[in-house]
Amino acid sequence: MQQQTPPEQLDLGAIVADLNNLLRLKTTVIGIKMFARVEEMEAIPKIRRPSAVHTTDQIVSMASRLGWTVGITGDDLVGAQCRAVIGLAPQDEKWLAGENYVGVWHGTAEDARKRQEALDVVPYGQYQAMAVSPLTSGRLNPPDICLVYATPGQMIILINGLQYTGYKKFEWGVVGETACADSWGRALKTGEPSLSLPCFAERRYGGVPDEEMLMALPPAYLVKAIAGMKQLAKNGLRYPIAPYGIQADVRAGMGVSYKN
């Protein structure tokens, strides 16, 4: 799929209003933007800078759960793992070895290395800083990617919207721990919609609820998804998905949804 609308021409407030109307989201839709220079990040209006060391999961959740606009450099993040996923630390031999994960997340050094090598990460050397902010603030103008937290039921309708025209089979992976590489790492690296099951760290430190999944994608894809979801809604395929009943005669419902 190709982005159809230049991001700078998007009405981010209208996008969020449509998403909330179509999906009844509980969590604030946010954006991430990477910066080649720290000064560019610090110039964002009302930017907050951390006074303590955090995980990237916490920084992201300051925007999605608290509505804050927050900017960071690699020095604000704990350890090389958080930094490397967003390209603020090198993916060097020490990082690839993943020694800290042996005996904790993986049984052998080989397993740890395989997991590290499987991560989608932003190449090192392009950026010095990152900022996160609710889309409705307009402060990132525009973000590189957007983050949508949603339940599985909400997420499949969002995916159906993306596939309504210009169909493409989505194939995503699950790296396990460091699942942020499946979402914002992959989306920043490839510019493609990227779905993840938030991992232990995202839930423990970022406060992501059990029921939520995460879709990271460039903002123009949201325009495509919204257009598709609106058409699906006209066809009676909308969220919330009303249960039909496991013992009901299915023919009436199937006749509408699938034209049987």
**Omega cis (within 30) before 134:** no
Which amino acid would we find at residue 183?
S
- Going by C-alpha positions, the residue among 155, 157, 147, 158 that lies closest to residue 187 is 147
**How far, in Å, CA of 184 to CA of 146, rounded?**
9
The helices-and-strands tally (H runs, E runs) of the chain is 11, 6
Task: Note whether residue 220 is domain-resident.
Answer: yes
User: Tokens 């969002």 correspond to what residue?
Assistant: 158
Task: Note whether residue 117 is domain-resident.
Answer: yes
Which amino acid would we find at residue 105?
W
Question: Given pLDDT bands bounded at 50, 70 and 90, which one contains residue 1?
Answer: very low
What is the pLDDT at residue 9? 65
What is the pLDDT at residue 227? 98
**How far, in Å, CA of 105 to CA of 204, rounded?**
15
Tens-digit pLDDT profile for residues 137-167? 999 989 999 999 999 999 999 999 999 999 9
Can you say how many angstroms the Cα of residue 197 is from the centroid of all Cα atoms in its chain?
A: 10
CB 128 within 8 A of CB 88: yes
What is the pLDDT at residue 8? 60
**What is the domain extent for residue 45?**
7-243+250-257
Question: Given pLDDT bands bounded at 50, 70 and 90, which one contains residue 260?
Answer: low
DSSP state of 238: -
Residue 182, token pair as written in the block:
């499946």
Minimum mean pLDDT among 102-106, 126-130, 238-242, 253-257: which range? 253-257
Task: Note whether residue 18 is domain-resident.
Answer: yes
**How far, in Å, CA of 180 to CA of 186, rounded?**
8
**How far, in Å, CA of 149 to CA of 79, rounded?**
25
**How far, in Å, CA of 102 to CA of 49, rounded?**
33
> Helix or strand or coil: residue 75?
helix
Tens-digit pLDDT profile for residues 182-193? 999 999 999 999
Minimum mean pLDDT among 114-123, 197-206, 238-247: which range? 238-247
End-to-end CA distance of the chain: 30
Minimum mean pLDDT among 6-15, 55-64, 181-190: which range? 6-15
Q: Is the pLDDT of residue 5 over 80?
A: no
Tens-digit pLDDT profile for residues 211-246? 999 999 999 999 999 999 999 999 999 999 999 889
pTM: 0.94
Q: Is the pLDDT of residue 4 over 80?
A: no
CB 169 within 8 A of CB 80: no
Task: Note whether residue 40 is domain-resident.
Answer: yes
**How far, in Å, CA of 49 to CA of 231, rounded?**
41
Taking residues 164-176, what's their average pLDDT?
A: 97
CB count, 10 Å around CB of 220?
21
Task: Note whether residue 136 is domain-resident.
Answer: yes
Task: Note whether residue 195 is domain-resident.
Answer: yes
Task: Note whether residue 2 is domain-resident.
Answer: no
CB 213 within 8 A of CB 149: yes
> Helix or strand or coil: residue 216?
strand
What is the pLDDT at residue 169? 98
**How far, in Å, CA of 155 to CA of 166, rounded?**
18
The total of structural domains in the chain comes to 1
Taking residues 43-49, what's their average pLDDT?
A: 97
Task: Note whether residue 1 is domain-resident.
Answer: no
What is the pLDDT at residue 23? 98
